[in-house]
């Protein structure tokens, strides 16, 4: 059966599809495979390029900080009900007891490195979106997603990611989902896709939103007017993330309990 890569659009007569392409990084607990990602594109997302860290690596680093919070009471982190005051991270100093997170000094002094990390994270979010869209709905080759291919795979253009910080510690996530995260396309989010071109996803306790078209600036005000009132009881107004520390990575809101 002929395969076509959702990223480079080459088919199996032009390139190989021998490696397993995890839509969510395996190092983050991802178990799902997107069959229509060629070996070259799969390797690209997992490799540094042009002095920029790998897209998958940044995505994994960010969400493993939160994932550890959910798993710290399980055997994965040294025994049931054990605390996890620190997390080993390449880029961040993380302390769960003090609920602090900061970019390590060696990276902080690098010019624009925080901006680079944030860009790679946004590309990673789009990468997971398109691969999971293809795996679950088989529409990843749709031409309307060409801009996602350009941004996530070829680092062209720039698109926003909005973050909804929680007001209350109401996070419904089971242990299995923390171990093996999932990316859901819920029917309740249809209005964001159809009317305003923004897609919302809750992933490992965080609510993100990002546009699915290139003319998002024309719709963002209408989208805000629709989505903010729906969430005001549980979330603050969304912000456009510029740095990864704009995200409540350690889920400080859980300390309200």
Note whether 218 and 149 are within 8 A (CB). no
Q: Residue 5: inside a domain, yes or no?
A: no
What the block records as the tokens of 198 is 């923004």
Note whether 32 and 132 are within 8 A (CB). yes
Q: Give long-range contacts, CB 8 A cutoff, 24+ apart: 199-206.
A: 199/129, 200/227, 201/129, 203/63, 204/63, 204/66, 204/67, 204/70, 204/173, 204/177, 204/178, 205/66, 205/69, 205/70, 205/171, 205/173, 205/251, 206/66, 206/163, 206/247, 206/248
Q: Residue 18: inside a domain, yes or no?
A: no
- Predicted local distance difference test score (pLDDT) of residue 199: 92
In a 13 Å sphere around the CA of 15, the CA atoms on its Cβ side amount to 19
- Number of domains within the chain: 1
3-state DSSP assignment of residue 162: strand
Residues of the chain with pLDDT > 70, as a percent, come to 88
Q: Residue 107: inside a domain, yes or no?
A: yes
Give the model confidence (pLDDT) of 4-21 as tens digits.
999 999 999 999 999 999
Weakest-pLDDT range from 50-54, 126-130, 134-138 = 50-54
CA-CA-CA-CA torsion sign (54, 56, 57, 61)? positive
Strands of the 100-103 sheet, one edge to the other: 86-87, 92-95, 100-103
Q: How far is CA 25 from CA 7, 64, 143, in A?
A: 17, 11, 25
Note whether 111 and 103 are within 8 A (CB). no
Q: Residue 245: inside a domain, yes or no?
A: yes
Q: Residue 11: inside a domain, yes or no?
A: no
Q: Residue 12: inside a domain, yes or no?
A: no
**Nearest CA among 26, 106, 87 for reference residue 59:** 26
State the residue range of the domain holding 65: 26-256
Give the model confidence (pLDDT) of 45-100 as tens digits.
999 988 899 999 999 999 998 888 788 745 544 444 444 555 678 888 887 777 77
- Exposed / middle / buried, residue 150 (Cβ in 10 Å: 0-12, 13-18, 19+): middle
Helix intervals (H) in the chain: 39-45, 55-71, 105-108, 113-137, 146-148, 175-179, 190-191, 220-231
- Predicted local distance difference test score (pLDDT) of residue 189: 47
Give the model confidence (pLDDT) of 153-200 as tens digits.
999 999 999 999 998 877 777 778 889 999 988 755 454 556 788 999
Q: Residue 120: inside a domain, yes or no?
A: yes
What the block records as the tokens of 60 is 């994994």
Q: Residue 159: inside a domain, yes or no?
A: yes
């Amino acid at each position: 059966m002929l395969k076509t890569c959702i990223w480079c659009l080459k088919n199996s007569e032009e390139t190989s599809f021998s490696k397993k392409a995890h839509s969510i990084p395996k190092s983050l607990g991802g178990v799902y495979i997107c069959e229509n990602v060629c070996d070259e594109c799969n390797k690209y997302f997992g490799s540094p390029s042009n002095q920029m860290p790998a897209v998958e690596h940044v995505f994994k680093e960010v969400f493993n900080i939160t994932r550890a919070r959910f798993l710290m009471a399980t055997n994965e982190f040294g025994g049931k009900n054990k605390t996890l005051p620190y997390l080993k991270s390449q880029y961040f100093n993380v302390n769960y007891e003090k609920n602090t997170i900061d970019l390590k000094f060696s990276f902080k002094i690098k010019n624009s490195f925080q901006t680079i990390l944030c860009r790679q994270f946004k590309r990673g979010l789009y990468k997971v979106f398109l691969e999971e869209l293809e795996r679950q709905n088989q529409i990843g080759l749709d031409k309307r997603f060409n801009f996602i291919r350009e941004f996530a795979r070829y680092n062209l253009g720039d698109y926003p990611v909005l973050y909804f910080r929680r007001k209350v510690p109401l996070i419904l996530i089971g242990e299995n989902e923390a171990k093996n995260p999932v990316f859901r396309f819920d029917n309740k989010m249809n209005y964001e896709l159809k009317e305003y071109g923004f897609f919302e996803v809750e992933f490992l306790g965080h609510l993100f939103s990002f546009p699915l078209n290139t003319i998002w600036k024309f719709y963002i005000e209408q989208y805000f007017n629709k989505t903010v009132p729906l969430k005001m009881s549980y979330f603050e107004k969304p912000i456009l993330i510029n740095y990864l520390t704009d995200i409540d990575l350690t889920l400080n809101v859980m300390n309200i309990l």
